[in-house]
Structure 1
Amino acid sequence: MTHFFKFSLIVSFLANSLFAEAAKPNILFILSDDQALETLSIMGELECKTPHLDKLAEEGVLFTRAYNMGAWSGAVCMASRAMFNSGAFVNRANQTVRKQPQWAQIMHGAGYKTYMTGKWHVPGKTAKNPPFDVVKDVRGGMPSQTEAGINRPLSPEDYEKGWKPWDKKHGGFWEGGKHWTEVTAGNAIEFLADVKTIDKPFFMYVAFNAPHDPRQAPKEYVDMYPLENISLPKSHQGLYPYRNQIGCGKQLRDAAIMPFPRTEYATKINRQEYFASTTHMDHNIGRVLKALKESGKADNTYIIFTSDHGLAVGEHGLVGKQNMYEHSMRAPFIIVGPDIPKGERNETAIYIQDAMATSLDLGKIAKPEYVEFKSLLALIEGDKSPHYPVIFGKYINYQRMILKDQWKLIVYPYAKKYRLFNLEKDPKEMKDLSDNAEYKAVLESLKLELKELQVQMGEEFDFENPPPIDYAALKKFKKKSH
């Protein structure tokens, strides 16, 4: 073999390698915080307006039953993000995210330029230094909340003289002078303006803090939602009967944002601000999507949009995400990109944390053994088999949940109470069937399946005989819930 021929082979190999690298798709992952599925106006349920996310859903596949698996602490978003970035299920994620390569590190190892801006809130050694090639304006768990933003509003008079979401003096999202939602979008746009000069595929992790409380937005967005146009949730009630036994009483920071009991007025004000924050974020997501198109990279980019969980804001007399109801367990999940069908809705039950495995599949990257969540590509391509036979949910030791087909069983170990719902007939979970003798067999079957599922999840907690509550830990809990 001549030296020239050897040289030609080397050049050809390098050229093919570079082409393969360039052909890898880009991944743009956009994550919101505390956004329930029904806030998407395309769902047709609430007054909330999300035109850019609606358009994104029309350009791809919208999964309408995307669940968070739960949390080991009041900071549900921290547990959720540990699962996103480790790929491990809830009972193993806290350790896996500390010991194994994270999502961004896997992407980097596969030749991706990795970028992150916005909320991180992932436990472990990377808590302050996310493992991306480029990090801009990394944020912690939540914008600072003030006493003025808690237990409000007590009345119209209290509202008039009190905290306002557009008032910059309260800090929070306004800390630094520019709203964090706008900062995060601006950072992503800045990176997208430079991607033409990057000779690698990119993985972007763009994490908004909105619409998490303090639910602040410019006044024009609040004005979009006159109070008389805000409807009360169908499941609205003043006080949730088991709030103290399930960890959602006054000791929980999220629960204390609104007054007890949950008045119609306070509920409407908080939903008004929730919608305003969501619409403001939607506008800024639109800016990012426009920048992607202008970058010339859109045709080879997959976009995955989701949130870390949902939120109650008055549903069932609850406010936060620390519960097993659909409004708090489900989040939007949209995927758009080359070869992704347009305008489809998929009602298969998935986990929002399937995002990582899906991105690895899209990039033809081997999935590490410790990644337990699954790729969605088979579902997108038309696979009709159950993605997960059952869906699991937990909240510390206060709550457990199992979802199978149309049936959901919620367990309150310390209240010694079960709640059984038929989601097909009762999607808003307003008719508890647990005490109905007609459904006793269903309830007992789900209890057995939940116990089997706990074994698979690596959990030894006996929900029928729970250990005593650690009241010392509970006192610290109020400050740590995000």
Structure 2
Amino acid sequence: MKHSILTSTLLLLSATFALQAKSEKPNILFIFADDLSYETIGSFGILDIDTPHLDRLAEAGTTFTHSYNMGAYNGAVCVASRAMLNTGRFVWNTFKYDTGKIMNEEADAGKMWSQLMSKAGYRTYMTGKWHVKVKPEKIFDVAANERPGMPKAVPEGYNRPLDEADYEKGWKPWEAKWGGFWEGGKHWSEVVADDSIEFLNDAKDRDEPFFMYLAFNAAHDPRQAPKEYVDRYPLDRIELPNNFTPKYKYQDEIGCGKELRDARLAPFPRTEYSVKVNRQEYFALITHMDDQIGRIIEALEETGQADNTYIVFTADHGLAVGRHGLIGKQNMYDHSVRVPFMIVGPEVEKGAKNEAPIYLQDIMPTALELADAPIPEYVEFKSLLPLLEGKRKKHYDSVYGAYKGQQRMIIKDGWKYITYPTANGTRLYNMEADPFEKNDLSQNPEYASKIKKLHKSLQKLSKELDDPLDYEDPITSWNKVSPPKKTKNNKGGH
């Protein structure tokens, strides 16, 4: 009898210690969207769009209202964004590391985000879009259904719709015959949710905490969603962007003209009808993704793991979809460089908004700090915990942005200055008075000193970030680090 009691006691203590061990460190659930502008969350009150589950996340935690991607060194902006995210380095230092050979050397040395989480005792998992130059199964404990940079596109999905007749006889987002998100028989966003739910059901019976990297291809083109989601957005519900223009003045000089793949999705010049249809399909794909995120969060709650889990939602960059006459993300406007960023979890203030400027990649060191893991010296982005805890007001005095050798940007003290070094063009916006960047002040003599001051600040920041661009000789300096490729058709962008 004594032996039986002792055995029962030891089993009880063992179970208690196992529970305590699991609860010592929180789970991290990272949800990553693609091509998702900061304005696409319904509860933000900017667009008429349905995102009830993301609205719920915003209510349950803190939203960083000014979260940015630092830029890109190639047309596929997501490649640079994801490489920065997984290495922790700023854009130009990432540029030096973003080759298959060096990235694999980084993985061999255990320097990637997921590997650092694994060293901290986490079971690591990913599913969905990857687009980083090292295989995910090399650095995650479990990698399911890795997806490429974008679903396969077809010619019929470009230069559309020309008019209503063209739409009726042409490509439709719900038709599985076009492949894309429908390849494999199930919509890719639904696959991400299915994979995630399966992992959560398995994780509930394990002792170690988990780090989940869930990467949707949505809302990237081809913007395909089930018909019932498209039908929720009749064109009379879609408002034309308040900064719509048929053509952006510098589109060709800054790499956003017909040579850019993303830009060719809609006809040139942009028409009200084509922009409304593209936005209709964009919103439908986002709402469909939102429903899949709802399924994931429901599974987290039903498996009893929600109370000890931090949920972070953000995206790799935004998207224009008709704003300023642009379609893609290869520009320095807020619709393309700024993303939603919400964090929910233990002791995170609910329903709060933090206006401190951050970079979306700050989540990497934040997760490490939450995991009580050391943040390596090579990680340049900053943990958000001091901001969340009220210990700091801001991390960055200004926000930097870049696109190849053609565009540079700085946001400082409520102003945005954009320069196009190879086109001898500039833009200046008062972001507080003009958040949608409709009123360019760069040609107003009254602001000449403001431009001069911001340009000087941008040059100083560029130097600090090891930007290879020489503002006095931009073409030569950029060609030294990124020689133009000899190709008949530069498809650029993903």
TM-score, length-scaled by structure 2: 0.92
CA contact (8 A) 2:126 2:136 kept: no
Which residue is equivalent to 1:57?
A: 58
Change (3 A) 1:130 1:116: farther
CA contact (8 A) 1:349 1:387 kept: yes
Which residue is equivalent to 1:7?
A: none
Which residue is equivalent to 2:121?
A: 111
Q: Which secondary structure does the structure 1 equivalent of 2:400 belong to? A: strand
**Correspondences of 1:68-217 after superposition (within 5 Å):** 68-96=69-97, 98=103, 99-100=105-106, 101-123=111-133, 126-127=134-135, 129=137, 131-217=139-225
Query: What is the RMSD of the two structures over their aligned residues, measured on CA atoms?
Result: 1.9
What is the CA distance between 1:456 and its match in structure 2?
1.1
**What one-letter code is carried by the residue in structure 1 that aligns with 2:462?**
Q
Distance in 2 between residues matched to 1:342 and 1:376, nearest whole Å: 16
Q: Which secondary structure does the structure 2 equivalent of 1:246 belong to? A: coil
Q: Which secondary structure does the structure 1 equivalent of 2:252 belong to? A: coil
The answer to whether residue 491 in structure 2 is matched with residue 473 in structure 1 is no
Change (3 A) 1:26 1:424: same
Which blocks of at least 5 consecutive residues in structure 2 are unaligned? 1-12
Change (3 A) 1:17 1:370: farther
Distance in 2 between residues matched to 1:310 and 1:455, nearest whole Å: 26
**What one-letter code is carried by the residue in structure 2 that aligns with 1:54?**
D
**What one-letter code is carried by the residue in structure 1 that aligns with 2:248?**
Y
Which residue is equivalent to 1:242?
A: 250
**What one-letter code is carried by the residue in structure 1 that aligns with 2:375?**
K
**Correspondences of 1:253-292 after superposition (within 5 Å):** 253-292=261-300
Which residue is equivalent to 1:387?
A: 395
CA contact (8 A) 1:252 1:477 kept: no
CA contact (8 A) 1:173 1:180 kept: yes
Corresponding residue to 1:403 among 392, 395, 411: 411
Q: Which secondary structure does the structure 1 equivalent of 2:451 belong to? A: helix
CA contact (8 A) 1:35 1:308 kept: yes
Q: Deviations over 1:334-378 (max 9, x none)?
A: 000000000001111100100111111111111001100001111
Q: Deviations over 1:289-327 (max 9, x none)?
A: 000001111111000100000000000000000000000
Q: Deviations over 1:363-408 (max 9, x none)?
A: 1111001100001111111245331011110000010001112011
**What one-letter code is carried by the residue in structure 2 that aligns with 1:339?**
E
Distance in 2 between residues matched to 1:154 and 1:308, nearest whole Å: 30
CA contact (8 A) 2:125 2:213 kept: yes
Distance in 2 between residues matched to 1:214 and 1:142, nearest whole Å: 8
Q: Which secondary structure does the structure 2 equivalent of 1:473 belong to? A: coil
Distance in 1 between residues matched to 2:231 and 2:85, nearest whole Å: 35
Q: Deviations over 1:30-84 (max 9, x none)?
A: 0000000111001111121100000010000011100000100000001100011
Which residue is equivalent to 1:6?
A: none
Distance in 1 between residues matched to 2:18 and 2:193, nearest whole Å: 33
**What one-letter code is carried by the residue in structure 2 that aligns with 1:418?**
T
CA contact (8 A) 1:251 1:474 kept: no
**What one-letter code is carried by the residue in structure 1 that aligns with 2:117?**
M
Distance in 2 between residues matched to 1:87 and 1:322, nearest whole Å: 22
The answer to whether residue 424 in structure 2 is matched with residue 416 in structure 1 is yes
What is the CA distance between 1:94 and its match in structure 2?
3.7
Distance in 2 between residues matched to 1:404 and 1:30, nearest whole Å: 29
What is the CA distance between 1:438 and its match in structure 2?
1.4
CA contact (8 A) 2:125 2:140 kept: yes
Distance in 2 between residues matched to 1:294 and 1:478, nearest whole Å: 48
Distance in 2 between residues matched to 1:474 and 1:159, nearest whole Å: 35
Q: Which secondary structure does the structure 1 equivalent of 2:393 belong to? A: coil
Count of aligned pairs: 469
Change (3 A) 1:246 1:127: farther
Q: Which secondary structure does the structure 1 equivalent of 2:353 belong to? A: strand
Q: Deviations over 1:82-113 (max 9, x none)?
A: 01100100001144461431100000011100
Q: Which secondary structure does the structure 2 equivalent of 1:358 belong to? A: helix
Q: Deviations over 1:249-284 (max 9, x none)?
A: 100000000100010000000000000000000000
What is the CA distance between 1:201 and its match in structure 2?
0.6
**Correspondences of 1:359-370 after superposition (within 5 Å):** 359-370=367-378
CA contact (8 A) 2:331 2:407 kept: yes
Q: Which secondary structure does the structure 1 equivalent of 2:65 belong to? A: strand
Distance in 2 between residues matched to 1:29 and 1:290, nearest whole Å: 15
Distance in 2 between residues matched to 1:163 and 1:31, nearest whole Å: 27
**What one-letter code is carried by the residue in structure 2 that aligns with 1:411?**
T
**What one-letter code is carried by the residue in structure 1 that aligns with 2:67?**
A
**What one-letter code is carried by the residue in structure 1 that aligns with 2:125?**
Y
The answer to whether residue 351 in structure 2 is matched with residue 350 in structure 1 is no
Change (3 A) 1:416 1:320: same
**What one-letter code is carried by the residue in structure 1 that aligns with 2:227?**
K
**What one-letter code is carried by the residue in structure 2 that aligns with 1:111?**
G
CA contact (8 A) 1:66 1:350 kept: yes
Change (3 A) 1:400 1:476: farther
Change (3 A) 1:297 1:179: same
CA contact (8 A) 1:121 1:127 kept: no
How much identity, in percent, do the aligned residues show?
56
Which blocks of at least 5 consecutive residues in structure 1 are unaligned? 1-11
The answer to whether residue 42 in structure 2 is matched with residue 41 in structure 1 is yes
Worse-superposed segment, 69-78 or 375-384: 375-384
The answer to whether residue 237 in structure 2 is matched with residue 229 in structure 1 is yes
What is the CA distance between 1:134 and its match in structure 2?
0.2
The answer to whether residue 11 in structure 2 is matched with residue 23 in structure 1 is no
Q: Which secondary structure does the structure 1 equivalent of 2:490 belong to? A: helix
**What one-letter code is carried by the residue in structure 1 that aligns with 2:463?**
V
Distance in 2 between residues matched to 1:177 and 1:21, nearest whole Å: 37
